[in-house]
Amino acid sequence: MSEGLVHLLQLLVSGVVTGGIYALVAMGFVVVYKATHVINFATGEFMMLGAFFAWTAMSALSAPFAVALVAALLASALLGMATERLVLRPLLGQRTISVIMVTIGLAAIFKGLAQIVWSGDYRSYPAIFPRAPIALGPLLLPSRQFYPFLIALAAIALVGLGFRFTRTGTAMRATADDQMAAFGMGIDIRRVFSLSWSLAAMTAAVAGVVVGIIGGISPQLGAIGLRTFPVVILGGLDSIGGALLGGVVIGVLENLAGGYVDPLLDGASLKEVVPFVVLVLTLMVRPYGLFGTREVERL
Amino acid sequence: MLIGNYKETYAADEAILRTPATRVWTVVALGAALAFPFLAGDYLLYLVNLMGVLAIGALGLNILIGFTGQISLGHAAFMGIGAYGTAILASRFGLPFWITIPAGGALACAGGMVVGVPSLRVKGLYLAIATLAAQVILEWVFTNWTSVTGGIRGINVAPASILGFPLDTDTRIYFLILGVAVLHFVLATNLRRSRWGRAFVAVRDRDVAAEIVGVNLFRTKILSFMVSSYYAGIAGGLWVYFTKVLTPENFPLSLSIQFLAIVIVGGLGSIPGTVYGTVFMTLVPEMLKAGTGLVRGVWPDAQSYLFPLRDVVFGLLIVVFLIFEPHGLAEVWNRVKRFFSLWPFAK
């Protein structure tokens, strides 16, 4: 294979890996948005806390990775529930700006607390996976990208299938579809809200662990949450399939821009803004995204 | 409830300073503001200058959010547009501040018009995200368009001067900031009772109903974005003359969030609330700093927790105000006033 082709494939593969992680984070947004029509600006911070929970379990309690992951999931689920109950529920039905701002406030609180508890230092998980890189034909994928990517895929599949086939998942979809009707059919809406937030927090925790394995953990880890907005908007705010596709598209575009355009620019990095340019274009052409529900409303 | 405060003409009813007490207090406040720099210490003066600049920017955001009900997460970026406009005109063309600051405002205003266009297609959450994108993209432009913005090295600007008299100290720039701030607060107060101001509020309360009574939604929303960005641009221009050096990291997303917090804590849609919010949100971190300084004797590590603690308190303020005091400090102030004017007849 020619060198150029290998370069392209390498970019595509790392784009798909990045995209898989974006998709997982985006899933956290979508779950909450579907049920409660809230965009959670603290998703990145939920990720960061999840990563720290797992890290604490592994380093302080020397738990094996699987146990640590489960512990982090449980802790995040509780945190998600508490957040919904204490902060979001009192604001039910308030103006959009209030709901957005409250999650931004939460993000600041979580970030500050994490810095107080765990300090601002960079940390990394103890070695979890075999070190040998994975060979895909002519391409080499570092093991610390390959295995986390598998975890991300598994989590996406699990959430997607759960949404589709379990009783609770059906209740969540029904609530998203028509709150009144769902309520009338005996679905406990408050429980659905609470479960959605804990599910979103758990998804974020897995994403946090994945990102933590790839790039290390610090209170700044949540910054990636911001970069997933283009993903959810492109895919459609209330579409899980959209989150998946949007994640991969944005991840690949980002890597292509980074690989082909950035070397031509003098020091500037197009990679940083490409997702947001896509976001603006999406909003102009098709605001509800590729698979989002088209809402007819007066503007 | 004021007693004996009759209005016999429409003009009296629409006046800004409606009671003798407000008139007296306004004069007292202006007098105090003029005397302030000669009485205050350097650091306090610096803080007040900072508050003045932030208050103008926050007022712009309050016009957009509080009056018109649109959302912007990119306010700091518009401040950046104004700041760069001002700095480039001043440093490359040597124009005086009374041209460069309004020009910066106009440039930001044009930027606001462009970003306001998506508000035709999207609202609410989507608009928030569109403006977030504007913030990220503009920040990127400030950093990477090196031939114009100077990149991360930034731009140095000579102090503003009036007829050869340089405004190079904090005391001197204070009067420029005070003048511009007073002018723009009066402007906003007048805007609110004008035809356009009422159109803004109508759009916020019920856009469909507003359109039916003849408010052109498109023009009103765009105008609101333009006015809001103009205020941000003016704040940016003053910022340039205040700090005299301009770098891209002056206008991060966190500043946009700071503006939002000021507006929410101060009171959505309240002009005096904007001032209370600015003062409060600027003083809280200072008090935390003083607090950690006080406990240093018993707890030497306190200093290292200052920054994270600031984040926590900042977030807590936003959350607590939204849940327990959604109308902000302006409403708290009104309650206090009411308590004293009715005392001892009611609680």
Q: What is the pLDDT of residues A166-194, one digit of tens each?
A: 998 899 888 888 888 988 999 998 999 99
Residues 163-182 of chain A with CB under 8 A from chain B are: none
The Cα of B58 is separated from the nearest Cα of chain A by a number of Å equal to 15
Contact B133 A279 (CB under 8 A): yes
Least confident span in A15-19, A108-112, A258-262, B118-122: B118-122
CATH code for B42-342? 1.10.3470
Best of B265, B319, B324, B327 to mutate (most A CBs within 10 Å, chain A): B319
Among chain B residues, CA nearest to A107: B315
Q: With contact defined as beta carbons under 8 Å apart, do A19 and A181 qualify?
A: no
pLDDT for the residue B134? 92
Residues of B in contact with A90 (CB under 8 A): 323
End-to-end CA distance of chain A: 53
Spatial distance between the Cα atoms of A101 and A148, rounded to a whole number of angstroms: 32
The neighbour count for residue B196, using CB atoms within 10 Å, is 16
pLDDT for the residue B292? 82
Nearest-CA neighbor of B181 among B279, B286, B42, B258? B279
**Domain chopping of chain B, boundaries:** 42-342
Among chain A residues, CA nearest to B151: A268
| Mean confidence (pLDDT) of chain A | 88
Per-residue pLDDT of chain B (347 residues; tens, 9 = 90+): 566 677 888 888 777 777 778 889 889 999 999 999 898 888 999 999 999 999 999 999 999 999 998 889 999 999 999 999 999 999 989 889 999 999 999 999 999 998 887 667 677 778 888 899 999 999 999 998 888 888 888 888 888 888 778 888 888 999 999 999 999 999 999 999 899 999 999 999 988 899 899 998 888 999 999 999 999 999 999 999 999 889 999 999 999 999 999 999 999 999 999 999 999 999 999 998 888 888 877 777 777 788 888 999 999 999 999 999 999 999 999 899 888 878 777 65
pLDDT reading at A292 higher than 90: no
- B155 forms bridges with which residues in the sheet? B246
Of A109, A280, A298, the CB nearest to B130: A280
**Which residues, at least 6 apart from B58, have a Cβ–Cβ distance to it below 8 Å?**
B259, B262, B263, B266, B274, B277, B278
The neighbour count for residue A227, using CB atoms within 10 Å, is 18
DSSP code at position A128:
-
Q: What is the mean pLDDT of residues A135-150?
A: 83
pLDDT band at A37 (very low <50, low <70, confident <90, very high): confident
pLDDT for the residue B346? 66
pLDDT for the residue B76? 96
Contact B133 A39 (CB under 8 A): no
The Cα of B259 is separated from the nearest Cα of chain A by a number of Å equal to 11
Q: Which two tokens stand for residue B203?
A: 């759009």
Nearest-CA neighbor of A232 among A20, A45, A38, A26? A26
Give percent of chain A above pLDDT 90: 43
Asked if A261 is an interface residue toward chain B (Cβ–Cβ < 8 A), one would say: no
Contact B133 A276 (CB under 8 A): yes
Contact B308 A104 (CB under 8 A): no
Element (H, E) at B245: strand B245-246
pLDDT reading at A121 higher than 70: yes
Q: What is the mean pLDDT of residues A1-16?
A: 86
pLDDT for the residue B276? 95
Of A104, A115, A284, the CB nearest to B308: A115
pLDDT band at A223 (very low <50, low <70, confident <90, very high): confident
Contact B312 A100 (CB under 8 A): no
Q: Which two tokens stand for residue B59?
A: 């007022």
Nearest-CA neighbor of B93 among B158, B151, B164, B152? B158
Residue A2: phi and psi, rounded to 5, are: -70, 160
pLDDT for the residue A246? 92
pLDDT reading at A297 higher than 60: no
Contact A233 B268 (CB under 8 A): no
Spatial distance between the Cα atoms of A41 and A106, rounded to a whole number of angstroms: 8
pLDDT by residue (tens digit) across A191-211? 999 999 999 999 999 999 999
Contact B71 A277 (CB under 8 A): no
pLDDT for the residue A1? 64
pLDDT reading at A106 higher than 90: yes
Among chain B residues, CA nearest to A100: B125
Among chain A residues, CA nearest to B313: A109
pLDDT reading at A45 higher than 90: yes
